[in-house]
Amino acid sequence: MIAPKYRRVILKLSGEALAGSKGYGIDPEVVSFIASQIKEVVQKFRVQMAIVVGGGNIWRGVAGSTKGMDRATADYMGMLATVINSLALQDALEKAGVDTRVQVAIEMRAIAEPYIRRRALRHLEKGRVVIFGAGTGNPYFSTDTTAALRAAEMEAEAILMAKRVDGVYDSDPLKNTNARKFERLTYIDMLNKGLGVMDATAASLCMENGLPLLVFSISEPGNIEKALLGEQIGTYIGSEEACGRSLIRQNKA
The kind and range of the H/E element at 208 are helix 200-209
243: closest CA among 200, 188, 204? 188
Query: Which residue segments constitute the domains of the chain, with CATH numbers given?
Result: 8-252 (3.40.1160.10)
CA distances from 14 to 35, 164, 235 (A): 14, 8, 16
pLDDT along the chain (253 residues), means of 10: 92 93 91 97 96 94 85 95 98 98 97 98 98 97 97 98 91 88 92 88 94 94 95 91 57 48
DSSP code string of 38-94: HHHHHHHH--EEEEEE--TTT--HHHHHHTT--HHHHHHHHHHHHHHHHHHHHHHHH
Q: Which amino acid is it at 22?
A: K
The packing angle between helices 200-209 and 143-153, to 10°, is: 20
Q: How far apart are CA 8 and CA 245, in angstroms?
A: 27
Q: Report the pLDDT value the prediction gives residue 244, as an integer from 0 to 100.
A: 66
Q: How far apart are CA 70 and CA 74, in angstroms?
A: 6
